[in-house]
């Protein structure tokens, strides 16, 4: 199993809603990541979890709240988002945080209305 | 300031020929480099990587070359196939003492392989 599974694939939410993005991997990877990708731009790192602890937070607004319930799961809780937060949200995992390939999920296409 | 640069937004190649995608970087702390392929509406797919202690890594039709003195790497695809048509991202990371392993991506190069 070399898959990173993200749900949902598409999400439309209002600016007052609370929603969550989910990510799952069963490769035994100990590092998991959230990236944000806007159209025609490269993926930009948001958060890194290493051994279920938040390792990197790239100055992401508090309306994005990550959670790592266990070594296979990574969530991104969304609250009071803005239309400019509309993007493709990508989850990735890797064996470790250093010098290892990251495997990406297919992403969640988020639209904030 | 862009740390990873892919200066060619697009590249068109005939089927069967070689595709060469280029990438330059500025951060001398980068010591691990990766190439990803991305189709529209999908996540990036890992292709091939190279550590800074090597200057070449080969995997089937894909070869990555690293020139540390020039801070330049390239991806060669031989022979190119129509199914290779996608956006290719170069990514770099710095390990211990650097930016804790997060990947920095270039802007991507859209490869079109024509039959």
Tens of pLDDT, residue by residue over A34-83, are 999 998 888 998 999 988 999 888 889 999 999 999 999 999 999 999 99
Can you give the pLDDT at residue B97?
43
Kindly identify which residue of chain A lies nearest to residue B90, measuring between CA atoms. A42
Confidence band (pLDDT; 50, 70, 90) for A99?
Answer: low
Q: Looking at beta carbons, which residues of chain A come within 8 Å of B101?
A: 31, 48, 96-99
CB pairs under 8 A between A and B: 66
Can you give the pLDDT at residue B42?
83
Q: Looking at beta carbons, which residues of chain A come within 8 Å of B106?
A: 42
Are residues A78 and A19 in contact, defined by beta-carbon separation less than 8 angstroms?
A: yes
Of A41, A55, A105, the CB nearest to B100: A55
Kindly identify which residue of chain A lies nearest to residue B50, measuring between CA atoms. A99
pLDDT of residue B98 exceeding 50: no
SS3 A64: strand
**Integer Cα distance of A35 and A107 in angstroms:** 9
pLDDT of residue B101 exceeding 80: no
Lowest mean pLDDT among A38-52, A92-106, B64-78, B97-111: B97-111
């Amino acid at each position: 199993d070399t898959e990173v599974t993200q749900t949902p694939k598409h999400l439309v939410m209002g600016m007052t809603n609370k929603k969550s993005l989910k990510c799952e991997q069963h490769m035994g990877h100990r590092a998991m990541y959230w990236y944000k990708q806007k159209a025609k731009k490269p993926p930009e790192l948001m958060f890194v979890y290493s051994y279920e602890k938040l390792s990197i937070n790239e100055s992401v607004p508090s309306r994005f709240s990550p959670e790592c319930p266990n070594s296979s799961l990574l969530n991104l809780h969304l609250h009071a988002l803005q239309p400019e937060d509309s993007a493709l949200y990508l989850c990735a995992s890797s064996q470790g945080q250093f010098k290892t390939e990251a495997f990406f999920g297919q992403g969640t296409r988020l639209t904030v209305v | 300031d862009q740390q990873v640069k892919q200066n060619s937004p697009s590249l068109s190649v005939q089927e069967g020929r070689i595709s060469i995608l280029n990438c330059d970087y500025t951060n001398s702390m980068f010591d691990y480099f990766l190439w990803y392929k991305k189709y529209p509406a999908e996540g990036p797919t890992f292709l091939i990587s190279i550590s800074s202690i090597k200057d070449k890594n080969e995997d089937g039709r894909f070869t990555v070359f690293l020139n540390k003195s020039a801070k330049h790497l390239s991806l060669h695809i031989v022979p190119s196939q129509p199914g290779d048509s996608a956006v290719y991202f170069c990514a770099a990371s710095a390990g211990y003492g650097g930016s804790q392993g997060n990947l920095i991506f270039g802007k991507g190069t859209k490869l079109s392989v024509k039959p």
